[in-house]
Structure 1
Amino acid sequence: MKKAVFFDIDGTLIDCLNGLTDITPRVKKAIRELQAKGNYVFIATGRPYAFLNEVILNFGFDGFVFTNGSYVKVGDKCIHKEAMEKEVVKEMVDKFEELGVEYILQGEEYSYIKDDHKALHSYYDTYSISKKYLLGDFELEEVESYKIEMLCKDQKGIDYCTSIEKDRFSCLNNSDGSFELYSKTNSKASGILKVLEFLDIPVENSYAFGDGLNDIEMLSTVGCGIAMGNANDFVKSHAKKVTDTVQNDGVALEIETFIL
């Protein structure tokens, strides 16, 4: 029976903040071996398409769970997408503008960020995100948003972002004044389940690697969730296994000794 393995990006395959901007040769080799044996490998990320670097895009993954499960592709086929309601997005954007909260609207291919959102642009520069698919000139009513990220300059902005309807949205507070907002009906886990159903692969034949708070659901949902050694203890507590750190080829270690 074929297996499906899902990988987070930041802190799992690469570590931009600590200088690891490419997948290491050992990890590449291990993932290729999975594919050579007829298994599927997917990216499961909070990032939109616009935030993927050439390393990830050109690797040859079998598909992508984007924006925490709100946009899912297997090969070139979109099997699920659920954009936020435009009226709700407009209400939030109006409030962001009033409070001076910088924001980016993440779409299918392009993401939309105003040129004068300098602090947010600088924030993404630290993650080596290309400007190729970032548009600064856009009409809000024409944008399909699958996820919104915000950067607050003061406590008023933080208080508003913290207060956004918890019954409708998951709002991840990154504790540095930045937030990630997405529909509560989607997650990396829900996207993974849609992939498994599409490929007719049982959950027990699925694996996931991750290190962040937005990986908890998928680590708990797949057949075997594997936390990175650099994850915090809370994330590790939701995984069945813990591997070494991203810097020490933790993904390759677990593929070689356990999955393969």
Structure 2
Amino acid sequence: MERKIVFFDIDGTLLNDEKEIPESTKKAVHLLQEKGIYTVIATGRGPQMFEWIREELNIHSYVSINGQYVVFDGEVIYANPMDPEMLADITKLAAGQGHAVAYCSHEQVKVSEENHPFIQESFRNFLKLDHPPQDREYFKHTPIYQGHLFCQAHDEQIYAERYPDYCFIRWHEYASDFLPRGCSKAAGIHKLLEAADIKQENSYAFGDAANDVEMLALVGTGVAMGNAVPEAKAAADVITTSSSEDGILHGLVKVGLLENK
């Protein structure tokens, strides 16, 4: 029997509105593992930002930083650092606009500005994470795989026009990810499928956000959460209930990976 694999987004998918893992989700993931189905996290977060989730769910493979840093069975199989010159330039531009930038390595996140209100809103109030430490030169001596730009949507065009080789993916009213064009969760998933020697038709993915659209379209069966953005629902094959309404468990039953008990 050919092995199957399931990719899970984190925010709005594995985590509910309270940023907790529902008991039904823990149970569902562990049942998949008992059946020999690979369980993988696919997220825009850096590895250090979801270590507790990996430990709680016993997951050792992940597509992190929107496909920029990929680990399979505990081993790094792909890492694609960004251009330090671009990071220096965008840091200078953001400072002049009153905005801020975050630099994501595989170990931690550091930011260009201390106590910036947009970082407070997106990190502390939305992600429930502490404001990262400030270090404007972090990218000069550490490989950075993704940046966060802290600005409002109407200001993002300035950056999109200046850096046409980069894509900006909004995930909060005050924050976007930015990374080289062609890089995405979907690209990282493709590399992991090759490493695991699993056919695309035997892959599944659960997601809810704009950065999940390509992933949901790539896999054999894409499942959008009930709380997903319209673009994610349009890209999916199946729509389940929300992350706060046992959406993972219901979705896995719906696609036939788990039985309805």
Quick check: 2:47–2:107 contact (8 Å CA) kept in 1?
yes
The answer to whether the aligner puts 1:251 opposite 2:248 as a matched pair is yes
Q: Distance in 2 between matches of 1:253 and 1:73?
A: 27
Out of 26, 41, 44, the position equivalent to 1:43 is: 41
* Closer/same/farther in 2, CA of residues 153 and 22 from structure 1, 3 Å limit: closer
1:237 maps to which residue?
234
Query: Structure 2 counterpart of 1:100, which letter?
Result: G
Displaced runs of 4+ in structure 1, greater than 6 A?
Answer: none
Quick check: 2:122–2:175 contact (8 Å CA) kept in 1?
no
2:209 maps to which residue?
212
Q: Distance in 1 between matches of 2:223 and 2:62?
A: 18
* Closer/same/farther in 2, CA of residues 39 and 154 from structure 1, 3 Å limit: closer
State how 1:165-184 maps to structure 2 within 5 Å: 165-166=163-164, 168-174=165-171, 176-184=173-181
| TM norm structure 2 | 0.89
Query: Structure 2 counterpart of 1:231, which letter?
Result: A
1:124 maps to which residue?
123
Aligned-pair distance for 1:58? 3.7
Give unmatched runs, 5+ long, in structure 1: none
RMSD over aligned Cα atoms = 2.0
Query: Structure 2 counterpart of 1:165, which letter?
Result: Y
Which secondary structure state, in structure 2, belongs to the residue aligned with residue 65 of structure 1?
strand
Aligned-pair distance for 1:114? 4.2
Q: Distance in 2 between matches of 1:236 and 1:210?
A: 9
Query: Structure 2 counterpart of 1:224, which letter?
Result: T
Quick check: 2:61–2:72 contact (8 Å CA) kept in 1?
yes
State how 1:129-140 maps to structure 2 within 5 Å: 129-130=129-130, 134-137=132-135, 139=137, 140=139
Which secondary structure state, in structure 2, belongs to the residue aligned with residue 204 of structure 1?
helix
Q: Distance in 2 between matches of 1:143 and 1:101?
A: 22
2:141 maps to which residue?
142
Deviates more, 1:80-89 or 1:144-153: 144-153
2:11 maps to which residue?
10
Q: Distance in 2 between matches of 1:112 and 1:249?
A: 34
1:192 maps to which residue?
189
Out of 110, 113, 125, the position equivalent to 1:112 is: 110
Quick check: 1:63–1:75 contact (8 Å CA) kept in 2?
yes
| TM norm structure 1 | 0.90
Q: Percent of aligned positions with the same letter in both sequences?
A: 30
Quick check: 1:110–1:135 contact (8 Å CA) kept in 2?
no
Query: Structure 1 counterpart of 2:30, which letter?
Result: R
Query: Structure 2 counterpart of 1:152, which letter?
Result: C
| 1:191-238 C-alpha deviation (Å, 9 max, x unpaired) | 111111001010010000001110000000000001111113322111
Question: Number of residues paired by the alignment?
Answer: 253
Q: Distance in 1 between matches of 2:170 and 2:25?
A: 30
Out of 21, 27, 32, the position equivalent to 1:29 is: 27
| 1:4-36 C-alpha deviation (Å, 9 max, x unpaired) | 100001111113xx32x2211111111101111
1:64 maps to which residue?
62
* Closer/same/farther in 2, CA of residues 154 and 231 from structure 1, 3 Å limit: closer
* Closer/same/farther in 2, CA of residues 56 and 2 from structure 1, 3 Å limit: same
Query: Structure 1 counterpart of 2:158, which letter?
Result: Y
Deviates more, 1:203-212 or 1:102-111: 102-111
1:81 maps to which residue?
79
